[in-house]
Amino acid sequence: MTRAVEQVQDAAAVRVRFAPGIRSTIAAEVARLGATRALILSTPGQSAMAAEIAAALGAATAGVFSKAAMHTPVAVTDEALDYLHACAADCLVAIGGGSTTGLGKALACRTDLPQIVIPTTYAGSEATPILGQTEDGVKTTLRDPKVLPEVILYDPELVATLPIALTVTSGLNAMAHAAEALYASNRTAASDELAVQGLAAFVTGLPQLLRDPADLRAREDTLRGAWACGTVLGQVEMGLHHKLCHTLGGSFDLPHAETHAIILPHAITYNSRSAARLLAPICDLLGGSNAGLALYTFARSLGAPLALRDLGLEESDLDRAALLATARPYPNPHPVTAPDIRALLQMAWAGGAPVV
């Protein structure tokens, strides 16, 4: 089968490009936005990637800010905003995972500057108009069209450096968006199709990447999956799974992708009590008759973390986590009660298979 070297997709206002080495077009993309002074964003760990982009942009680099942090702390955004004003940036280039994308979105929310995102994980934030921010130990989420990036450059060479453990957890994070999209009350035929497309990309791609993390074909296919999963996340409402992960991330500072990987089988098993038919595409892809158990078996086969206690969560934190995650109602196919969620968290904390 022949494959186009590169495809360009202009969906709504978003320009999406996939190709190995596509990051080298950054100067043309900045110019295309009519911008001349880009602020480049990264985490400390990816400052070398940011430096490469700065070098490619040359005089169009206004500055580099490499302090992006997990869960988009407002204090970091405030510091970056001061820097943005000081260097008179007129566009944002975020190179990194969801943390860096989150910082870019937080700055766009405050300034309405255009954004180019070069994702290096599968989190999918680049494809949504959603911004999650953390302040005083609480993570809140908003939706705003200003927050949706204008351009996404998916470069498989960049995810090829993602350590295999993070490849697996980040892929499961993406799958979680698609899994919850399947039972969203505002789902559509198009969102269902995109969700299944995203899930299939990871069901095929993650085992391939376990065998060969540098397989650029599998990296590109999984990036396409990340785009599909991120896009459905932006289109439909999320339920219990995302609520639990936001609570554990925002209030207990647990790492994002690992938390998603651990919670997903438990949340989907819980919701399969009311939404088994809607979750059937997961069984079709993975085998088995319960979507949550199928996800647990898949995650375990990939060597994913299975227990919240291994992320440093104390058993004594579970009561508060259950209360926080059930404090306000949200859409979910199966009724949510504090005792049921406390029991779910106990299982996820211990790491055994979810009880159907």
45 binding ligand NAD? (CB under 6 A): yes
Please give the Cα distance from 327 to 223 (Å, whole number): 35
In terms of CB distance, is 159 or 206 closer to ligand NAD? 159
Nearer to ligand NAD, 98 or 225 (CB): 98
- Nearer to ligand NAD among residue 99 and residue 235 (C-beta): 99
Closest residue to ligand NAD, judged by C-beta, is 98
DSSP letters spanning 285-338: HH-SS-HHHHHHHHHHHTT----GGGGT--GGGHHHHHHHHTSS----SS---H
Q: Does 121 bind ligand NAD (CB under 6 A)?
A: yes
Q: In what order do the strands lie in the sheet with 115-119?
A: 7-11, 14-18, 151-154, 115-119, 91-96, 38-41, 61-65
- Structure token digits, residue 253: 């500072």
CB 190, min distance to ligand NAD, A: 19
Q: Does 158 bind ligand NAD (CB under 6 A)?
A: yes
178 binds ligand NAD (CB under 6 A): no
List, as own/partner pairs, every contact residues 6-12 make where C-beta atoms lie below 8 angstroms and the sequence separation is at least 24, other chains included: none
Establish if 130 lies at the interface with ligand NAD (CB under 6 A). Answer: yes
Contacts of 216 (CB under 8 A, 6+ apart): 20, 156, 157, 160
Instruction: Report the distance separating Cα 218 and Cα 224, nearest Å.
Output: 10
Does 38 bind ligand NAD (CB under 6 A)? Our answer is no
**Site track 247-286 with ligand NAD (rule: CB under 6 A), x = hit:** ---------xx-----------------------------
In 3D space, the residue among 144, 126, 104 whose CA is nearest the CA of residue 14 turns out to be 126
Question: Residue 281 CB, nearest distance to ligand NAD (Å)?
Answer: 21
Which residues here bind ligand NAD, judged by CB under 6 A?
43, 45-46, 70-72, 96-100, 102, 120-121, 123-125, 128, 130-132, 158-159, 161-162, 166, 170, 173, 233, 256-257
